[in-house]
Structure 1
Amino acid sequence: MGVSSNDPLLLRAARGEQVDRPPVWMMRQAGRYMKAYRDLREKYPSFRERSEIPDVAIAVSLQPWRAFQPDGVILFSDIVTPLPGMGIDMDIAEGKGPIIFNPIRTQQQVDQLHLLEPDTALPFIKPILTSLREEVGNQSTVLGFVGAPWTLAAYAVEGKGSKTYSVIKNMAFSDPSILHQLLKKFAESIAVYVRYQIDCGAQVVQMFDSWAGQLSPQDYDTFAVPYQKMVFDLVKQTHPNTPLILLVTGSAGLLERMATSGADIITVDWTVDMADARTRLGENIKVQGNLDPGVLFGSQDFIRDRVIDTVRKAGNWGHILNLGHGVLPETPEDNVRFFFETAKQITYLP
């Protein structure tokens, strides 16, 4: 694969090329901590409006780009966005997250689901990603994102977010065949959706398996990894050169298992020391993370020390600097700005 220095920094680092500093972006970098976003939310109170009206979603996606010039600009969307296109009716309640109107509980409901056709079901995705690529050019990398099969199934079966996941675990442990069929359908549709995002302009795609950390290791091996892998394998058949990132919330005990998914880059959260994560994952796996979002409430000296510590432990290859999860709503914007400025001043020693 040819090395092109014209390509943006994050894309080059994600491919494993040598770069002179770690690229940096933040999960949830467009959102409530920014006054510009809160102002726009008053005009468009529905999350689905903000994420599905192209002009509005483009404006939101670009708010942090204009403010901080991160190395990654991510599509403003939600992991449940493709569900209606499969036949699962949902809405996203402000401050509460996704609500599924008819949770999937029966074989008949699983049978009725259909393969996602993004062009017709998600007509807003193409103009958003196309515009983001035009806007940032080679100055930044455009990221797409999707939910993983287990996490989408958890929403679809539970009907909303959960603290115990007792409904889907009931299905997993008492009627696994229905769940496996559901997970396979999700994997096939998500793969279609990832390919579509890449075709529309996404240069790197991150898959969020937000709730897979709620599984025991043996259940993760049964219900999460095989379907993560199914998505990644299907995408790599057609788009082998697009780097794919995997995030699992609360993944400290699962890092080695995450590495078997076929993801190119593993997101590490702050409950693992980055040097330990590097040792556990091995030298060929690239990493993203892993600053505690709470660090951004600290002083500038504290933020700088933590950023430098993380970068030093990650080493000078295959690291994308990020938080271990999304930026928190009350975070001071000035500290976000300082985080980006600090990151960009770091240079790897030759």
Structure 2
Amino acid sequence: MENVSLLQAARGEVFDRPPVWMMRQAGRYMQAYRDLRQKYPSFRERSETPDIAVEISLQPFRAFQPDGVIMFSDILTPLPGIGIPFDIIESKGPVFEHPIRTQAQIDALTPLDPETALPFVRQILTTLRQEVNESATVLGFVGAPWTLAAYAIEGKSSKDYAIIKRMAFSQPAMLHQFLAKLADAIALYVRYQIDAGAQVVQLFDSWAGQLTPYDYQTFALPYQQRVVKQVKQTHPDTPLILYVNSSASVLDLMAQSGVDIVSVDWTVDMAVARQRLGATMGVQGNLDPCVLFGDKAFIRDRILDTVRKAGNQKHIMNLGHGVLQNTPEENVAFFFETVKQLNYSSNDFN
């Protein structure tokens, strides 16, 4: 059965219920994923080998039939293609042997050629479109410039982002050059994903919420806009979603990025988010992932509260962040079942 409601809702069409998918819906909370991880322990092998990445992407689709299927990948995937190698160590995260700290390193970066550097991405998305066969919307995703810069400069995950902020405040011209190069590479990467089959693309600027609003306007927003502008020049009809973790202080600024949908985390009430973002901006989210540890009545009540506050147009139901590792699979199933059974005209919404 054809189902591209997520794509159409992102474009502003009205349906009987919100479309639904879940960030990190493929991952460690699923037994099927944990079994596959035992066979392929390297994260990059899992995410960069087409057959494996497709299988992982389809695990939650087969189990829960969400309205969106997102490519299993990593936001850092394009970095080696511009000259920034990295590795991902299980339980530790990404590690960069040579963090970006100097002007010479930035000058040495090369333009991204996705077809040469990332041919597996085309294979993954093309196969996903074939496998899903219009029974759900296929999503691509990328990291936004500030967040990719944070990983590359810090050299690993960080709690305080002191190294990149030191560069921002003491060597801003150098950082702006790096962010510009990243933005241009990411724009190419988004276009490549769309051409390969992605119908909607989500931009993750996960760590931009660590900035003050002033610094967000200086170091994150202009480069989000740079990506979006380039993509919209060639692919104006492809909806783009922007997610920022801990985004309460910058939510209004996210709406200035040019994206079609702002993904709201759970620290902002959805009704407040609607007021701050304005009537024309689409929203995604924003159930607290920990709600899925509650009983079914509690989960349903929180879902209804979110959907009521979001309204019946241009809302994609999702979590406010990724599904957590130890979340019961049966509760994930109940989340999807509940949203898919909703109807805006029912007594629950009147």
Q: TM-score, normalised by structure 2?
A: 0.98
Partner of 2:110: 114
Q: How far 1:123 moved relative to its partner? A: 1.3
Distance (whole Å) between structure 2 residues aligned to residue 203 and residue 348 of structure 1: 25
1:190 alignment partner in structure 2: 186
> How many Å separate the matches in 1 of 2:33 and 2:344?
34
Question: 1:25 Cα deviation (Å)?
Answer: 0.4
Identity %: 70
Q: Choose from 38, 45, 49 the match for 2:45.
A: 49
Q: Report if aligned partners of 2:221, 2:253 keep a CA contact under 8 Å in 1.
A: yes
Instruction: Pick from 236, 239, 246 the counterpart of residue 240 of structure 1.
Output: 236
Residue 12 of structure 1 corresponds to which residue in structure 2?
8
Cα distance in 2 between the residues matched to 1:7 and 1:334? 23
Shift of 1:192: 0.1
Instruction: State the match for 2:306 in structure 1.
Output: 310
Partner in structure 1 of residue 73 of structure 2 = 77
What CA deviation, in whole Å up to 9, does each residue of 1:8-36 have, x standing for no partner? 11001000111111000000000000000
Would the aligned equivalents of 2:64 and 2:336 in 1 still touch at CA under 8 Å? yes
Matched residues in 2 for 1:175 and 1:105: separation? Answer: 10
Select 2:144's aligned residue among 133, 137, 148: 148
Q: What displacement does 1:349 show? A: 1.7
Q: Secondary structure at the match of 1:224?
A: helix
Could you say which residue in structure 2 is the equivalent of 1:178?
174
* Deviation of the 1:6 alpha carbon: 5.9
Q: Deviations over 1:75-113 (max 9, x none)?
A: 000000110001001011112221111000000000001
The one-letter amino acid of 2:26's match is: A
The equivalent residue for 1:37 is 33
Instruction: Give yes or no for the alignment of 1:130 onto 2:162.
Output: no
**Does residue 282 of structure 1 match 2:290?**
no
1:259 is paired with a residue whose SS is helix
Quick one: which amino acid aligns to residue 39 of structure 2? K
Q: 2:214 aligns with which of 214, 218, 241?
A: 218
Contact 2:203–2:241 under 8 Å retained in 1: yes
In the TM superposition, residue 115 of structure 1 has moved relative to its aligned partner by: 1.2
CA RMSD of aligned residues (A): 1.0
Instruction: Give the partner amino acid of 1:263.
Output: V
Q: Distance in 2 between matches of 1:272 and 1:346?
A: 23
- Hey, what's the Cα distance between the residues in 1 that align with 2:89 and 2:258? 33
Question: 5+ residue gaps in structure 1?
Answer: none
Deviations 1:201-242 (A, max 9, x none): 000000000000000010000000000000000000000000
Aligned equivalent of 1:165: 161
Aligned equivalents of 1:173 and 1:160: distance in 2?
20
Alignment deviations for residues 172-214 of structure 1 (CA, whole Å, 9 cap, x no partner): 0000011000000000000000000000000000000000000
Question: C-alpha distance in 1, partners of 2:23/2:328?
Answer: 15
Name the counterpart of 1:104: 100
Indicate whether 1:273 and 2:263 are aligned: no
1:100-131 Cα shifts (integer Å, max 9, x gaps): 11000000000001111111101111111011
* Structure 1 partner of 2:334: 338
The CA distance in 2 between the partners of 1:80 and 1:255, in whole Å, is 24
**Could you tell me whether the CA contact under 8 Å between 2:3 and 2:67 is conserved in 1?**
no
Q: Describe the superposition over 1:254-303 as per-residue Cα deviations: whole angstroms up to 9, x where unpaired.
A: 11100000011000011111011001111000000000000000000000
Runs of 4 or more off by more than 6 Å in structure 1?
none
TM-score (norm 1): 0.98
Change (3 A) 1:265 1:27: same
SS in 1 for 2:246: coil
Q: Which residue, 201, 205, 219 being the options, matches 1:205?
A: 201
Matched, 1:90 2:59: no
